[in-house]
Amino acid sequence: MLPARVRFAPSPTGYLHVGGARTALFNWLYARHAGGKFILRIEDTDAARNTPEALVAIYDGLRWLGLEWDEGPEVGGDSGPYRQSARQAIYEQHLRTLERGGHVYEDHGTTRFRSPRQPVTVNDLVCGAVTFERDEPDMTIRRPDGSFIFHFVNVVDDLEMGITHVFRGEDHLSNTPKHIELFRALGGEPPRYAHIPLILNPDGSKMSKRDQGASVQSYLDAGYLPEAVRNYLCLLGWSPKDDREKLPIEEIIRLFRPENLNRKNAAFDLDKLNWLQGEYARELEGDRLQQVARQALRAAGLPLENFSADYIDAAIQTCQGKFRLGSELPAYAGFYFTREVALDPQGVEKHFIPENREKLQRTRAAFAACEPFTADPLQAALKATATDLGVKAGVLVHPTRLAVTGSDSGPSLYHLLEILGREVVLTRLDQALAHPGFCR
């Protein structure tokens, strides 16, 4: 059997959207599964609609998702060039083949392909055998200005590049008989097609360009992890046929088969993506954790440069396993990096009340005397204070946390106190004790 050659052939008319990314992903998965080549080809025949920015967005998006191509722009290969705008001569040559075979004719300046008008059966890897009658008007393959139409160049390139398998959106299923006719007229063998279901918006409408969350870039910007997005995209139309949902990409590659693809359009479910994102985010540790967290904190404008690397490392470490999206971090751990804490009004109302005044004062005193100022002794000091006062530790924990972080949720209190250090903790406690809520 021929080594598999699959391709993703986007046209750079906008950003890379999740539907396109998922198409690229399935092609890539098949190539990796079969030990074949994954080829990127840019379909930029429509000069008016293509932009350089869109081209960069495609490259960046694919690379972010880890879908490296074996042949294509910026990588090279034996079947180039990989941008259609540079392949005009090749198209001219194949057009002559069609002319010689009497397959084309001229019509108002355009070139049209004469359909044999015989039923065509598409043997689709996903949809099975689908037969089309072929009674539509002949397709145009070349415009009066000499530029070629999608159907023609797409087929010529698949032929020239030796493409063996094509995974593409189901919207192309009805185009496929045209492509097969072209292949035959060109004397070539069509690749095996696998038409995959479309991605829908949560409301069931077709997800397209300007829909919320349609851009791969928006997930990158929002701090999603590429492995989470990629894993989620795999689940749209494919499943391992058991109960697993979070799978390492190597396992997905191993299991990926066209037969396991669905035929049903799938709605994009942000909740589920978020869940997977959380699954991956909680596994973050070490350098990767530091890198992801620092980026999120900086993006929120927190002045990390004012703090030592050790301090930042330790602060971030207390967030390990506690967040799903980097963008949650500023609210969760921003207090490490601000001078003044922003007090949560609801928390203030609940915890900064007269009956807590003495409790907080006693806690402050215990911390002031705590030596060393580290998590375990701090915990012991707080618990001892609680015992003296005859209350549960939680009664002291809440106002203390609020005073020191401004919020009633955050990292482990004792660890955060240690990192903040005695001076900051005592200062914030004093500021809190001056709050009017305590002497109503």
Partner RNA sequence: GGCGCGUUCGUCUAGUGGCCUAGGACACCGCCCUCUCACGGCGGGUACACGGGUUCGACUCCCGUACGCGCUACCA
Residues 74-133 that bind RNA (CB under 7 A): 108-110, 127-128, 130-133
Which of 394, 434, 436, 440: binder of RNA (CB under 7 A)?
394
Stretch 319-358 residues interacting with RNA (CB under 7 A): 321-324
Which tokens sit at 126?
A: 């996903």
Distances (CA, A) of 325 to 60, 279, 331: 21, 10, 11
Question: Could you give the string, one character per residue 49-68, with x where binding to RNA holds by CB under 7 A and - elsewhere?
Answer: x-------------------
Rounded to an integer, what distance in angstroms lies between the CA atom of residue 134 and that of residue 366?
Answer: 86
Q: How many residues are there in the chain?
A: 440
User: Using the rule CB under 7 A, is 174 a contact of RNA?
Assistant: yes
* Nearest CB to RNA, comparing residues 78 and 242: 242
Q: Return all residues near 42 (Cβ < 8 A) that are at least 6 apart.
A: 9, 10, 11, 12, 55, 58, 72, 73, 82, 83, 84, 85
Catalytic residue among 178, 206, 209, 246: 209
In the complex, least distance from residue 374 CB atom to RNA, rounded to whole angstroms: 13
d(CA 208, CA 265): 14
- Candidate residues 151, 298, 357, 422; the one interacting with RNA per rule CB under 7 A: 151
Q: In 3D, which of 68, 71, 53 has the Cα closest to residue 16?
A: 53
Stretch that binds RNA, among 51-59, 410-418, 419-427, 430-438 (CB under 7 A): 410-418
Tell me the closest approach of the beta carbon of residue 386 to RNA, in angstroms.
Answer: 10
List 63, 96, 117, 206, residue binding RNA (CB under 7 A): 206
Looking at beta carbons only, is 26 or 38 nearer to RNA? Answer: 26
24 contacts: CB under 8 Å, gap ≥ 6: 8, 10, 62, 65, 67
Contacting residues for 128 by C-beta, under 8 A, at least 6 apart? none
Is 158 near RNA (CB under 7 A)? no
Closest approach, Cβ 53 to RNA, in A, equals 17
144 sits near RNA (criterion: CB under 7 A)? yes
Task: Give, in order, the Cα–Cα distances in Å from 175 to each of 17, 123, 136.
Answer: 22, 13, 11
Q: Which stretch binds RNA (CB under 7 A): 94-102, 250-258, 290-298, 394-402?
A: 394-402
Q: Which residue has the tokens 């094509």?
A: 166
Binding positions for RNA, 10-29, rule CB under 7 A = 10-11
Q: 209 catalytic, yes or no?
A: yes
Site for RNA contains 140 (CB under 7 A) = yes
Per-residue binder mask for RNA (CB under 7 A), 210-239, x = binder: -------------------------xxx-x
CA–CA separation, 198 vs 10, rounded Å? 15
Residues numbered 284 to 313 that lie near RNA (CB under 7 A) are none
- Give the binding-site size for RNA (rule: CB under 7 A): 78
Instruction: For the beta carbon of residue 279, count every other beta carbon within 10 angstroms.
Output: 16
Of 150 and 311, the one with the shorter C-beta distance to RNA is: 150
Q: If binding is defined by CB under 7 A, does position 262 make contact with RNA? A: yes
Backbone angles phi, psi at 129, to 5 degrees: -80, 120
CB of 154 vs RNA, minimal distance in Å? 7
Under rule CB under 7 A, residue 393 binds RNA: yes
Helices (H), 214-302: 216-221, 226-234, 249-255, 270-282, 286-299
103 token code pair:
């397959």
The rounded distance, in Å, linking the Cα atoms of 312 and 331 is 16
Cβ-based nearer residue to RNA, 67 or 234: 234
What is the set of active-site residues? 209
